Structure 1
Amino acid sequence: MTSLELQTHNSPPPLESAERQFYDGENPHDTAIVEQNLAPADGGVAAWRLLVVAFVFEALLWGFPLSFGVFQNYYSQQPQFANNPFISIVGTVASGISYLGAPLIIPVIKRYSKYQRHMIWFGWPLCILGLLAGSFARTLPTLIFTQGVMYGIGFLIFYYPIISFVNEFWIARRGMAYGILCASSGVSGIVMPFAVEALLAKYGYQTTLRIIAIGLVVLTGPLIPLLKGRLPPSERTAAGKTNWQALRSPVFWVYCSSNVVQGLGYFFPSLYLPSYATAIGLTATQGALVLALLSVSQVIGQSSFGYLSDKRVPLNLLILISTLVSGLATLALWGLAQSLTALVMFALVYGFFGAGYVAMWARMGSAVSEEPTAALATFSLFCFGKGVGNVAAGPLSAALIKKGVVVGSYGIMRYKSVIVFTGSCMLGSAVSVGAWWVKGKWPRNLL
C-alpha cells in the first residue's frame, strides 16, 4: 500500500543511528548493553520470521479491500442495493482511511512506541468485527460504516505498527524487505478475487463476509504473538519535530498537484472493471480474472518504476511515461473494449504504468528536500493526496455513472464519463509536470 511504497526507496539510516534514535538521552552505558542484546538486523531468524508474518497480514488484510470490485459487482445486482450509485463508497472508504490516516497515525506510533503491540490487538479485532457486522447489513449506509469505516480504521491502527517493526529489523536491506511486502498485494490479487467471487456466487454476501472473517481469524490470529519489534519498549521516545520547509518549494507543489490529480482518477478501473465485464456479457469469473491481472501488473509496475528511479533515470521522464501511457490506455483500450481480450490488455497496461507512479513518491520527496524529516513530511502529504482521490472516487462515480448500457458504443455508454474522467486525470497529471519541464524551471538533476 501507499505509505509502504513511500518508505521502500528511502535511504536506510546507519545501523547505529537507527537504533539510538529510540534511546536518545539515556545513559550511554545502558544503551550499549541494550544494543548488545538486540537480535541481528537485516537477517537472522527473528528478522525473517517477522517479514514472513507481515507478508501474510499484508496479503490477506490489505488484499481484501483491494478486491472490493468483486463485491461491488455483486452488490449492484442485489435488489436492496441495485441502481444505487453510491455502492463504490464502501470500498473507497476502507482503503481511503488507510491513506488519509497515515500522517496522523505515524506520529502517534513514534510518540507511544511501547504501545504498538496494543494497537495491533485493538485494530485487528476491529477489522474482523467490521466484516461480521457487515454480514448483518441490510442497507448501504450500514455497509459503508461496517465494511468501510470500521474495517478501514482497524486496518490503520494495526498495520502501521507492523511496518514500524519491519523498519526495526530491516535497515540496510529495507528496500528488499519492502519489495517483498509489496509483492504480497500481487499474490492476494491473483487469488482473492476468484475466492470472493466463488463464495458470493454460492453463499451470498452475508455468509461470504462471515466466512472471510473466520478465515482471517484462523490464518492471522495465531501469528499475532510473533509480531514483535527488534527494539525493546522504551519509556522515552524521541519526539523530533518534523521539518515542513518543503512546503515552500515550488517543486513540491507541482508534484503535489500532479499526485492529487492522478489520484482522483486512478482508482476507477479497479472499482469498475468487474462490473464493466459483466455489462459486455462476460461472466463474473472473467471479471475477477481481469481484476487479478490488474493487481499483478500493478506490482510489476511498482517494482520496475521504483528500480528505474533508483538508477537515476530522469524522474520527470518516468512520471510523464507513467501518466501519459496510463491515460492514453484508458481512453483507447478501456473506452473501446468490447471483449475479454481488450479488457485484459487494458488491465495489464494500466496496472503497470498507472501503479508505477506511486513507486516514485520517495524520489519526488528527495527531489524536494534531502533533509530526512522534510522528506518524510512530503511523503505523508503525497499519501494524503492519494487518499483524497481514493475517497472522492465513490461520490464522483455516483455522478459519472449513467443508467443505460449500449453495447458497441464508447464505454458502453454507462461508463463513458468514468473512462473519460480517468483518462483526463492521468493526462492532467502529466501536464502539470510536463508544463514546468517544458518551461525549463526544473533542476537539472530532474530532467
Structure 2
Amino acid sequence: MASRDIELESISHPISRTGVFTTPDESGTQQADSQPEDGRQEFSLPPVDGGKDAWLFLAACFAIEALVWGFPFSFGVFQDYYSTHEPFAGSPNVAVIGTCAMGIMYLTCPLMMGLCRIFARWARWTSIVGLFTMCLALAMSSFSSNISHLIATQGVLYAIGGGIAYCPCILYIDEWFVQRKGLAYGIMWSGTGLAGVVLPLLMEFLLRTVGFRTTLRIWSGVLFALTIPLSFYIKPRLPYSATSHVKPFSLSMFLLPTFWLYQLANVIEAMGFFLPGIYLPNYARSALGAASYGSAAHYPFGVMMDIVRKGESLDQGYIDPSMVFGWLAAGRGIGNVVSGPLSENLIRSLPWKGNTAPFGYSSGYGSLIVFTGVTALLGGASFVWRRLGML
C-alpha cells in the first residue's frame, strides 16, 4: 500500500489513503455513482509492483521488446545475405537498411511519447496499430527487387511501426512498477539480449534454406501471431479519468546542462555501438570463416532519473521520465543513422588490408574496429564529467 501512495502523490486528483479515486463533478463537488454514502465515486486499482495484471503487462513488454528490436539487431545476417546474393549483390548502401530501421525507431521516440501523452485515451491501442504496420512492412519487403525498396519497407516503414508499438511499453511501465521499477526495466530490456542471441541464428538458417523472400514472409506471419495477442496486455494501470489530471509534462530538460552532457556522450557512443552487430557476420565470414553473433542492450538504466532529480532541484517544473527516455533515444537514433553511411566510408576499399598489424586490424575492417573502440571510450565521458563536478 505504501508504494501505491508514493506513486499517486504526483496526481492532482482527490485520492484516499486506501488508493480509491473520487471523481469531482463539473461544479467542483464530489459526485456519487450510485452507492457511496459519502458522495464519492469509487473504483479500485490493480496492485502496483506485483499481482497478475502487473506481471502480465511486464511479460508482454518483454516479448514485444524482443520481437520489435530483435529483428533490426539481427540485420547483420541479412546484410551478409543481401551483399552476396542476387538481386542485391554489389549494391551500395546495404548497411543503411539496418541503421535506418533502428535509427528511425529511436528518433521517433519523443514524438510517439508526446502523442501518447496528448491522446492518452487512445494510447493503449497504438501497440496494435504499430505491430500490424511492422508485419505489413516485412511482407511488403519480401517483394523488393532493389535496395531502395528494402530501405523503404524493411527500413523506414518497419521502424515507424516499431516506434508506434514500443512506446506504450515505456509510457505505462511507470504506472505498474514503482519500487521495483529497476527490476521491471531490466526484465523488459533483457528481451533484446535474448532475441539478439536467438534470432540471428534462426534468420541465418531460414535465409540459407528458403531465401530472403520466404524468410520475410514467414517472420511476418510469426510476428503477427505472437505479438497481436500480447498487445492487449499493454494497457495503463490508471484510468483515463485519473491520468488526465496528471501534471502536464514540460521540455524544461533542455535547459539542464546535465541533459546535454549525457546526450553528447550518448550520441557519440551510439555512432559505434551498432556497427559490430551489422558487420560481424561479414567480418566473421571473411576473416574467420565462421559466424558468431552477440546481443545488444539498451543504454543507461539511471540517467533518466538523474535528469529528473536535477530538474526538480533547480525548480524546472515536472520532467516526465518517459519524455527524457524519448529524447535520449532520439539522440541514440542520430548516432545510429550517422553510423550507416559513415561505416560504408570507413571500410571502402578495405583499408589496412594485408598490412602487418596484429589481430583483426589487417583484415580490412581495422578502421571500423578502431572507430568502434574510440566511440565506446568517449561514450563513457559522463564518468569523467561527474568526477569534475559537471554532473
TM-score, normalised via structure 2 length: 0.82
Q: Structure 1 residues 107 and 199 mapped into 2: Cα distance closer, same or farther (>3 Å)?
A: same
Q: What residue identity is the alignment partner of 1:88?
A: A
Is 2:24 aligned against 1:17? Answer: no
Q: CA deviation at 1:192?
A: 0.9
Q: Bigger CA drift: 169-178 or 205-214?
A: 169-178
Q: Bigger CA drift: 195-204 or 32-41?
A: 32-41
* Equivalent in the alignment of 1:131: 138
Q: Which is greater in Rg? A: 2
Q: Bigger CA drift: 242-251 or 415-424?
A: 242-251
Is 2:164 aligned against 1:172? Answer: no
* Equivalent in the alignment of 2:342: 396
Q: Is the 8 A contact 1:255 1:433 kept in 2?
A: no
Percent of aligned positions with the same letter in both sequences?
35
Q: Bigger CA drift: 167-176 or 201-210?
A: 167-176
Q: CA deviation at 1:123?
A: 1.1
* Equivalent in the alignment of 2:18: none
* Equivalent in the alignment of 1:426: 376
Q: Structure 1 residues 55 and 124 mapped into 2: Cα distance closer, same or farther (>3 Å)?
A: same
DSSP-derived class of the 2:301 partner: helix
**For the residues of structure 2 that align with 1:239 and 1:37, how far apart are their CA atoms?**
18
Q: CA deviation at 1:243?
A: 4.1
Q: CA deviation at 1:87?
A: 0.8
Is 2:323 aligned against 1:373? Answer: no
Is 2:113 aligned against 1:103? Answer: no
Q: CA deviation at 1:245?
A: 4.1
Q: Deviations over 1:202-245 (max 9, x none)?
A: 01111100110111122223333333332334497247444444
Q: CA deviation at 1:399?
A: 1.5
DSSP-derived class of the 1:39 partner: coil
DSSP-derived class of the 2:91 partner: coil
**For the residues of structure 1 that align with 2:40 and 2:340, how far apart are their CA atoms?**
53
**For the residues of structure 2 that align with 1:437 and 1:235, how far apart are their CA atoms?**
38
Which of residues 387, 411, 427 in structure 1 aligns to 2:333?
387
DSSP-derived class of the 2:84 partner: coil
**For the residues of structure 2 that align with 1:417 and 1:261, how far apart are their CA atoms?**
16
**For the residues of structure 2 that align with 1:58 and 1:130, how far apart are their CA atoms?**
18
User: Where do 1:141-152 residues align within 5 Å?
Assistant: 141-152=148-159
DSSP-derived class of the 2:165 partner: helix
DSSP-derived class of the 2:76 partner: helix
* Equivalent in the alignment of 2:274: 267
DSSP-derived class of the 1:76 partner: helix
* Equivalent in the alignment of 2:301: 359
**For the residues of structure 1 that align with 2:184 and 2:32, how far apart are their CA atoms?**
30
DSSP-derived class of the 1:37 partner: coil
Q: Structure 1 residues 413 and 426 mapped into 2: Cα distance closer, same or farther (>3 Å)?
A: same
Q: CA deviation at 1:17?
A: 2.9
Q: What residue identity is the alignment partner of 2:6?
A: P
TM-score, normalised via structure 1 length: 0.73
**For the residues of structure 2 that align with 1:375 and 1:241, how far apart are their CA atoms?**
9
* Equivalent in the alignment of 2:27: none
Q: Structure 1 residues 73 and 39 mapped into 2: Cα distance closer, same or farther (>3 Å)?
A: same
Is 2:196 aligned against 1:189? Answer: yes
**For the residues of structure 1 that align with 2:229 and 2:57, how far apart are their CA atoms?**
13
Q: What residue identity is the alignment partner of 1:384?
A: A
User: Where do 1:103-252 residues align within 5 Å?
Assistant: 103-234=110-241, 237-238=244-245, 240-252=247-259
Q: What residue identity is the alignment partner of 1:51?
A: L
Q: Bigger CA drift: 35-44 or 17-26?
A: 17-26
* Equivalent in the alignment of 1:306: none
DSSP-derived class of the 1:226 partner: coil
Q: CA deviation at 1:137?
A: 0.4
Q: Structure 1 residues 243 and 20 mapped into 2: Cα distance closer, same or farther (>3 Å)?
A: closer
**For the residues of structure 2 that align with 1:423 and 1:378, how far apart are their CA atoms?**
27
* Equivalent in the alignment of 2:47: 40
Q: CA deviation at 1:77?
A: 0.9
Q: Is the 8 A contact 1:80 1:139 kept in 2?
A: yes
Q: Structure 1 residues 423 and 33 mapped into 2: Cα distance closer, same or farther (>3 Å)?
A: farther
Q: What residue identity is the alignment partner of 1:16?
A: L
Q: Is the 8 A contact 1:61 1:155 kept in 2?
A: yes
Q: CA deviation at 1:90?
A: 0.9
- Listed as ranges, the gaps of 5+ residues in structure 2 are 16-20, 25-29, 34-38
**For the residues of structure 2 that align with 1:158 and 1:192, how far apart are their CA atoms?**
19
User: Once superposed, what is the RMSD of the aligned Cα atoms?
Assistant: 3.2
* Equivalent in the alignment of 1:341: none
Q: Is the 8 A contact 1:100 1:387 kept in 2?
A: yes
Q: Structure 1 residues 220 and 407 mapped into 2: Cα distance closer, same or farther (>3 Å)?
A: farther
**For the residues of structure 2 that align with 1:113 and 1:84, how far apart are their CA atoms?**
44
Q: Is the 8 A contact 1:361 1:382 kept in 2?
A: no
**For the residues of structure 2 that align with 1:108 and 1:373, how far apart are their CA atoms?**
18
**For the residues of structure 1 that align with 2:4 and 2:97, how far apart are their CA atoms?**
36
Aligned length: 366
Q: What residue identity is the alignment partner of 1:359?
A: F
Q: Is the 8 A contact 1:41 1:171 kept in 2?
A: yes
**For the residues of structure 2 that align with 1:373 and 1:417, how far apart are their CA atoms?**
44
Q: What residue identity is the alignment partner of 1:122?
A: V
Q: What residue identity is the alignment partner of 2:342?
A: L
Q: Bigger CA drift: 237-246 or 376-385?
A: 237-246
Q: Structure 1 residues 258 and 367 mapped into 2: Cα distance closer, same or farther (>3 Å)?
A: farther
**For the residues of structure 2 that align with 1:107 and 1:387, how far apart are their CA atoms?**
17
Q: What residue identity is the alignment partner of 2:273?
A: Y
Higher helix share: 1
Q: Is the 8 A contact 2:185 2:301 kept in 1?
A: no
Q: CA deviation at 1:14?
A: 1.7
Q: Structure 1 residues 160 and 401 mapped into 2: Cα distance closer, same or farther (>3 Å)?
A: same
